[in-house]
């Protein structure tokens, strides 16, 4: 009914997220954001059925703010409390749009700054990770290579922007050969670093578009080869993407084209449901509510959590 987000510009000057500043910004923003969301939805808090919050994984300071706020609302309003796994919520963001959502089972390529996974979704609450990164995540690879190119944080969207004007085959970078359905992106970052160290001081400036296009092409190639392998292994041809990196226009285009070539049904969430948002927490909580999956007030957030 509403989906308000408070972006945190404070991190840009530091070249990355500063956990302490993130949690302080959460404390400053959480009341105004909830007020705005409730007002936009034309409801009052007493009319909601339950309170849902992100319990894991993530930055512990930020999770603590959200958890304590949700507990307080639950206690004050006498409403049940629902704990949500952040990465499961990214997958279920594909179910928000009633007119364009996948049938079960489906595969989901979940790509964000902290995670890269392939997930089999048998039902809203039956999700299984069948492949994941063994080191860096895809979003981290975008941001770290952007930093090597001298781009400001967050660099991933800038690589996507400049890549549109460049040649994706101008430069070739390493694609690590990892077994099964797992990923690795640390070798790509090292490959870009060593390549740039061999160039003169004006090389990046003169070739920025081609460099961004080549880096993006390599990351997308790694992702798509694994999801193709997953389709072959599972026989599932309903394929989705999720997570912050699924907002990347190159990945969205490549997945759509691959699906058309191979006879998949592909599903891509609207842009506002790709990056971290409240709607994906709400849709996950909806299914948990139907299953009476509630938690007690003594629950604590955790920075890392298995599915």
By residue range, what is the domain housing residue 145? Answer: 102-268
According to the model, what pLDDT value does residue 153 have? Answer: 85
Strand (E) or helix (H) holding 240: strand 238-242
Residues 84 and 199 in one domain: no
- Would residue 303 count as lying in a domain? no
Residues 246 and 106 in one domain: yes
Task: Give the Cα separation of 156 and 20 in Å (integer).
Answer: 23
Mean pLDDT by 10 residues, the chain (307 residues): 82 80 93 95 94 96 97 97 97 95 97 93 97 94 95 92 98 92 95 97 97 98 97 98 95 97 96 93 98 97 89
According to the model, what pLDDT value does residue 97 have? Answer: 94
Residues 211 and 232 in one domain: yes
pTM of the model: 0.93
CATH classification at residue 67:
3.30.420.40
Three-state secondary structure call for residue 242: strand
- Would residue 192 count as lying in a domain? yes
Q: Please measure the distance between the N-terminal and C-terminal CA atoms of the chain and give it in whole angstroms.
A: 28
According to the model, what pLDDT value does residue 119 have? Answer: 98
- Total structural domains in the chain? 2
According to the model, what pLDDT value does residue 11 have? Answer: 74
């Amino acid at each position: 009914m509403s989906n308000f987000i408070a972006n945190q510009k404070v991190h840009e000057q530091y070249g990355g997220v500063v956990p302490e500043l993130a949690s302080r910004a959460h404390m400053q923003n959480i009341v105004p954001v909830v007020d705005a969301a409730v007002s936009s939805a034309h409801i009052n808090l007493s009319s909601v059925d339950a309170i849902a919050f992100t319990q894991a994984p993530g930055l512990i300071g930020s999770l603590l703010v959200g958890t304590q706020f949700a507990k307080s609302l639950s206690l004050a309003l006498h409403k049940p409390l629902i704990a949500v796994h952040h990465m499961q919520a990214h997958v279920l963001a594909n179910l928000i749009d009633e007119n364009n959502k996948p049938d079960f089972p489906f595969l989901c390529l979940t790509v964000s700054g902290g995670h890269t996974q392939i997930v089999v979704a048998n039902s809203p609450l039956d999700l299984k990770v069948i492949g994941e990164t063994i080191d860096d995540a895809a979003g981290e690879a975008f941001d770290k290579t952007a930093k090597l190119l001298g781009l400001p944080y967050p660099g991933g969207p800038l690589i996507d922007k400049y890549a549109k004007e460049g040649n994706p085959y101008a430069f070739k970078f390493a694609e690590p050969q990892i077994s099964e359905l797992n990923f690795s992106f640390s070798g790509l970052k090292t490959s870009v670093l060593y390549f740039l160290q061999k160039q003169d001081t004006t090389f990046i400036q003169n070739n920025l578009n081609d460099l961004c296009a080549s880096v993006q092409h390599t990351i997308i190639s790694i992702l798509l080869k694994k999801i193709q392998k997953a389709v072959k292994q599972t026989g599932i041809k309903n394929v989705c993407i999720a997570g912050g990196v699924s907002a990347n226009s190159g990945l969205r285009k490549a997945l759509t084209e691959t699906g058309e070539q191979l006879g998949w049904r592909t599903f891509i969430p609207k842009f506002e449901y790709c990056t971290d948002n409240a709607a994906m927490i709400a849709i996950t909580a909806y299914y948990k509510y139907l299953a009476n999956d509630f938690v007690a007030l003594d629950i604590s957030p955790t920075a890392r959590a298995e599915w």
